[in-house]
Amino acid sequence: MRPKLVVGNWKLNTRRDEAQALAQALAAGWSGSAQVRLVVCPPAVHIPVVAAALEGSRVALGAQNLAEQPEGAFTGEIAGEMLADYGCGFVIVGHSERRALFGETNAVVASKMLRALDSGLTPIVCIGETLAEREAGQVEAVIGAQLDALVAAATAGLAGIVLAYEPIWAIGTGQTASPAQAQAVHAFIRGRLSAANPAWADVPVLYGGSVKADNAASLFAEQDIDGALVGGASLAADDFLAIGQQALQA
């Protein structure tokens, strides 16, 4: 059985004290397990405070984004190596908000995925369709193109990455994909990856989109759902820990 990963994306939320308190509550409340890894991705500026609060705990640290470049004249950017220096092991890449609001194309996402791998970080690469694309019957075409861009770029392979299937219409809307809807896309993703290279059959595929403590169990019960990328419900320690517990029981 593939281990599960439950990742919290705090987005542009939490002031310093709130980030510290949230991380302390997670560190105290999660005893860890080889079967389930809990990861939090705070705003970049809070990474040192959160890293200190998580020290000695079984909760891992990630970032929400990284630069496409390793260094140089790129004002405001943060390189993967810098994130690794501060204790990050993971980084979210190509979240739909970055694709839609900051112009990240499939090519940029693929290039950031490679940068993350080169920096020693595990990229959590987000893919997903809009509601209009779903209604037009284009889910597999859209997801397929997003995957193809990753496959084409990854000359050294995709074995070290995590994917997150996040239907855009389900993010922050309270409208979760049904377990069957999510499973159908996860199975498509796994099939496409294994066809490209049998060694990629076990790439973890997380589901994201309004995951809460009360719907996580039914999603985690699906055979190709390897955990969750959680936005809103990761901002309350009890809610996020409850999702972690559902993963433990799956």
Dihedrals phi, psi of 80, to nearest 5 degrees: -55, -40
In this complex, which beta carbon is closest to ligand PEP, that of residue 116 or of residue 230? Answer: 230
CA 139 vs. chain centroid, Å, equals 19
Identified binder of ligand PEP from the candidate list 9, 64, 122, 246, rule CB under 6 A: 9
To the query of whether residue 46 is one of the catalytic residues in this protein, the response is: no
Q: Are 204 and 226 in contact (CB under 8 A)?
A: yes
Site string for ligand PEP, 219-238 (x = CB under 6 A): ----------xxxxx-----
DSSP string, 86-148: TT--EEEES-HHHHHHS---HHHHHHHHHHHHHTT-EEEEEE---HHHHHTT-HHHHHHHHHH
Q: Are 206 and 189 in contact (CB under 8 A)?
A: no
* Residues 63-102 close enough to bind ligand PEP by CB under 6 A: 95
Q: Are 89 and 123 in contact (CB under 8 A)?
A: no
Instruction: Please identify which of the residues 104, 129, 166, 222 carries the catalytic annotation.
Output: 166
In this complex, which beta carbon is closest to ligand PEP, that of residue 122 or of residue 155? Answer: 122
Closest approach of ligand PEP to the CB of residue 55, in Å: 26
Q: Is 209 helix (H, G, I), strand (E, B) or coil?
A: coil
Closest approach of ligand PEP to the CB of residue 183, in Å: 17
In this complex, which beta carbon is closest to ligand PEP, that of residue 26 or of residue 233? Answer: 233
Instruction: Please identify which of the residues 46, 95, 97, 222 carries the catalytic annotation.
Output: 95
Identified binder of ligand PEP from the candidate list 80, 123, 167, 208, rule CB under 6 A: 208
Closest approach of ligand PEP to the CB of residue 228, in Å: 8
- Phi and psi based region of residue 227 (left: phi greater than 0; alpha: psi -120 to 50; beta: remaining): left
Closest approach of ligand PEP to the CB of residue 96, in Å: 7
Q: Are 78 and 92 in contact (CB under 8 A)?
A: no
To the query of whether residue 95 is one of the catalytic residues in this protein, the response is: yes
- Computed over its alpha carbons, how large is the radius of gyration of the chain? 17
Number of residues that bind ligand PEP (CB under 6 A): 14
Q: Which tokens go with 100?
A: 């839609």
Identified binder of ligand PEP from the candidate list 119, 146, 210, 215, rule CB under 6 A: 210
Residue 124 as a binder of ligand PEP (CB under 6 A): the answer is: no
For ligand PEP, the binding residues (CB under 6 A) are: 9, 95, 166, 171-172, 208-211, 229-233
Which are the catalytic amino acids? Answer: 95, 166
